[in-house]
Amino acid sequence: MLKVSVCSLGALLFLSFVQAHAAPLNLGSDAATIKSKSKSIEAEYARDIRMQHQSNAFEERPQQGALVIEQGNVEEEEAPVATAPTMHSVPQRSTSSDVIHSIPGAANTYYSGSNGYSYDTTLKMRAERKVGAGVAIGGTLGVAGFNMELNFEEADGVVAGFGTGPGYNTFQVAWKHAFDGDFLAPYTTVGYSRWYNSRGRSSDYENSDILDRVLTESEKKTGRFGTDFVNASAGLQYNQLNGEFAGLSFFGELTGMWEVKRSMILPNGSVGAIYYF
């Protein structure tokens, strides 16, 4: 009897449990209902996952923002010591008159259409411009004369010229050595000159202090003479090294003239100009 009672009580409890959970579990539902329930559960699970990711992202966002601010501070601190950008002017197209051309074979020599030639030193100019022509007043050529200069080397050349004076004519040949310089350059010459009159019957020689001192009485009477000099000079020459007048020079020199026949030394001097081309 007790056994039957226990079995009956167990059956009642089982029926009560089934009845209590039958509605929520809906064990009697069909396949469509079960599929719908499973999709609903999946959707809720996916929503929970998204919310969890959003929550994690929201928790990490302040740290990333702090990192950005910190980087910004570093950039602001480095900004004052940053080097300012260099401003470059846009090159303008040069016209044909402003372009500087180097001359082939002439070191340190340039030509500009607007400024002409340009040389660094006097010797550079003499090396490029071999021939010079000019005039002289006084000196070994008498009252006035014409000179030609031929530069064999940049520092050395030959000078030849002829001149005139009251009652006489002159010519000379000399060796010239130029020293280097910018615009002012010293130089020396050693050469030979001859003063002469082949026409005769003239007393104009009296206007020349040099001839009046070196001519003999016989030469003064006839008016015909020829006297020879060995000359040594030291001078200073100004040379225009750039611009349209490059090659133009002015000089002044002091000369000692040694008369060969009488062995007399006579001081003299001259000034003049010469152009090298």
Mean pLDDT of 43-70: 64
Closest alpha carbon to 205 in 257, 269, 142: 142
- pLDDT tens profile 237-277: 999 999 989 999 999 999 999 999 889 999 999 999 999 99
- pLDDT tens profile 111-154: 444 467 889 999 999 999 999 999 999 999 999 999 999 999 99
Mean pLDDT of 93-111: 47
pLDDT class of 90 with cuts at 50, 70, 90: very low
Residue 146 pairs with which residues in a beta bridge? 135, 162
pLDDT class of 220 with cuts at 50, 70, 90: confident
- What pTM does this model have? 0.58
Q: Read off the amino acid at residue 107.
A: A
Q: What pLDDT score does 257 carry?
A: 98
Q: Determine contact, residues 186/157, Cβ cutoff 8 Å.
A: no
pLDDT class of 198 with cuts at 50, 70, 90: confident
Q: Determine contact, residues 151/128, Cβ cutoff 8 Å.
A: no
Phi and psi angles of residue 205, each rounded to the nearest 5 degrees, phi first: -55, -25
- Average pLDDT score, the chain: 78
- Asked whether the predicted pLDDT for residue 98 surpasses 70, the reply is no
Measured distance CA(193)–CA(140) in Å, rounded = 7
Q: Look up tokens 């008498």; give the residue.
A: 142
Mean pLDDT of 205-209: 83
Q: What pLDDT score does 218 carry?
A: 87
Torsion 178-179-180-181 (CA) sign: negative
Count of alpha carbons within 13 angstroms of residue 150, beta-carbon side: 6
Q: Determine contact, residues 123/154, Cβ cutoff 8 Å.
A: yes
